[in-house]
Amino acid sequence: MAIGRNPIVVEHIRKTRMTELLSKGNRLSGRGLLEYRPIKIETGLIEKASGSAKVSIGNSQVIAGVKVEMGTPFPDTPNQGLLVVNTEVLPISSRYAEPGPPSEDAIELARVVDRGIRESKMIDLQKLCLIPGKKVLAVFIDVSVLDIDGNLFDTISYACTAALATAKIVQYEVSGEEIKASEEKIPLPVKTIPISITMARIHDALIVDPDLEEEAVMDARLTLATDSDGNICAGQKGCPGGFTVEQIMQAKDIAIEKGKENRELLKKMTGIA
């Protein structure tokens, strides 16, 4: 279920119309079933962050910022740096987003995005280790949601990926127990570019990038992320509805193909190799 879904009542007539159109392969907005809304990516606007990206998909709009701090590794992974993804659905973003502790929806959002980045091994955490068991770099990616018009999963995910891929961090030189910050700024150790594709089922139709109206009537949601090699690296089904086994297989293929497209787009817009 999308944030802000519950309170929205799409009038019955509009919903019937939506279903009719979908059965013919069309959407209310005129988009094709597998067509994304315009995607805009702007990087580097937050100078105080190591990396940042403002991403909009249609009217959904978020900003992600990357901060790097010194930290202590977890006891069971003494050679790995830390990665923390945190999402805040700000009250400015929708009349249904209240200030206060993160909702269940916001927690799911943050955790799914986190898994997409973590499990794809986008960032080589080993390279963020300075002194094994003692000092590592901790990478915080915070996302502020500014405007909600559906498909926050992908909007947030692209913002995190773009901010990480363009971040520049202080280089440290370690000799023994001594850590010295060099003048040099270097990129994060990026190994792959994960791209999530979020799909919705409305009656029998499978569409990508649902907008707020579509989220209000969708039966089920599926987000699948793929890495640069076209492997699937994270998945999350949501909403109180299901998919048939066949739809899951179809969704898997869509995720891989659309993922390739959007990855190229993201690379072009951020200027990364």
* Interface positions with another protein (CB under 8 A): 1, 45-49, 52, 59, 61, 63-67, 69, 86, 88, 90-95, 99, 104-105, 107-108, 110-111, 115, 119-121, 140, 142, 144, 146-149, 222, 224, 227, 230-245, 247-249, 252-253, 256
CA 54 to chain centre: 12
Question: Smallest distance from the beta carbon of 101 to another protein, in angstroms?
Answer: 8
Q: 104-119 and 152-166 helices cross at what angle (nearest 10)?
A: 40
Task: Give me the phi and psi of 94, to 5 degrees please.
Answer: -170, 150
- 19 vs 247, which CB is nearer to another protein? 247
Longest Cα separation, the chain: 70
Shortest gap between Cβ of 183 and another protein (angstroms)?
18
18 or 225: whose CB is closer to another protein? 225
- Residue 75 Cβ vs another protein, minimum distance, rounded to whole Å: 9
For β-strands 82-89 and 135-147, DSSP reports them as parallel
Based on CB atoms, which residue is closest to another protein, 126 or 247? 247
Report, in Å, the least distance between residue 230 CB and another protein. 7
Q: Is the dihedral of CA 114, 184, 270, 145 positive or negative?
A: positive
Taking the complex as a whole, the smallest distance from the CB of residue 96 to another protein amounts, in Å, to 9
Q: Which lies closer to another protein via its Cβ, residue 33 or residue 46?
A: 46
Task: List phi, psi (to 5°) of 248.
Answer: -60, -45
User: DSSP letters of 206-229?
Assistant: EEES--HHHHHH-SEEEEEEE-TT
Between 26 and 135, CB nearer to another protein: 135
